[in-house]
Amino acid sequence: MKFHEIYAKNPNEIKFSFEVFPPADAEKLQRLKETLEKLSEFKPKFVSLTWGAGGKSNQAENLISDISAVGFDVMPHFTCVCSTKEYVEYHLEKLENLDIDKILALRGDIPEDKSLMHHEFHYACDLVEFIKNKSHLDIAVAGYPEGHIETPDLNTDLANLKKKVDKGANAIFTQMFFDNNKLYKYIEKVHNIGIDLPIIPGIMPILSKKQIDKMTNLARISIPKNLQNNIEKYQNSGSDMQKFGIEYATTQCQDLISQGIKNLHFYTLNKSTSIKQILYNIL
C-alpha cells in the first residue's frame, strides 16, 4: 500500500508503523518474529526494515519474506553511499519482485574505510532521483527536527530536505526526538518552504541511559532537563527506567495526537513490551 493510500484516507484514524532491524542470528530472528506477532494486534500499516544496499542482500530478502509471511507490509531502508548505480538498480528490481512498493531512501553513514565508497551517489537526494527514474516505488526520506548532525544548522538541513522532495520523495519520517515543541516548529518550517507531504514523527521509548547516550552522540537530539533528571534517577534500575520510558513516550504521543498528529512511527529496537504498553495507553 502506497503512502497516499495510507495517510490520505481516514484522517481521524490513529495509524502506526514499526521499525525493526535485521537480527544477528537464528535465535534473535525467532525473537523478532515473536515481537512482530505480539505487535500484530495493533494492525500497523507497515513494518520498516533497516537494511542498507551494501548489506547482506540475500539475508535481507529472506527477512522481508519472513516479515511479509507474518502478515505485514514491509518498507525496507536503502542506503547508497557505498553502492554503485548498477548495484542499486539490481536490488530495486529484486525488491519490486518481492512486491515491495515503498522504500526509505537514505545516504547512509560514511564508512571509516573511505575505500568502501563508490562516489556514484553523494547525497540522499541523488538516490531519490535514481529510484524515481528506475522503479515504481514510493520513496520516503528522513527528516531531522533539530537538523542532521553533519549540517551547520536547521535551515541548511531543511534546504537538503527540499532537494529530496523535489527529486521525488513521497513522505518524511523523522528521527526520534524527546521535545514535541521541536517537532511542531520543524513541521511549521517544513510547510513554510513549500513542502506538503506526510511528516511522520519517530518515537523511541527510553530503555536505558546507555541507549540515550549513544543516540545523542550519533545524532542531534536534545534532552529536556526534566527528562535528563529522570534518566539519571532511574539509570541503575532497568525496570524503573522502562516504566518511565513508557510513561514519557505515552505523554509524547498523547500530546501529538491532541495536536492532530495521528501518524506515529515507533523505533522498536526489536522489542515489544514498551511499544505494546504505549499503544494500550493511547488507544
Catalytic residue list: 19
Type of residue numbered 160: N
Dmax (CA) for the chain in angstroms is: 51
CA pair distance 147, 190, nearest whole angstrom: 12
Q: Give strand pairing partners of 202.
A: 176, 265
Q: For 15, phi and psi rounded to 5 degrees? A: -115, 140
Per the listing, cell 513516550 goes with: 249
Closest by alpha carbon to 14, among 270, 247, 272, 278?
278
Contact 164, 152 (CB under 8 A): no
Contact 157, 164 (CB under 8 A): no
Q: For 55, phi and psi rounded to 5 degrees? A: -85, -170
CA pair distance 169, 197, nearest whole angstrom: 9
Closest by alpha carbon to 199, among 155, 265, 147?
265
* CA 180 vs CA 12, 34, 153, 176, 197: distances in Å: 20, 31, 19, 10, 19
The HSE-up count of residue 5 (CA atoms within 13 Å, CB side) is 8
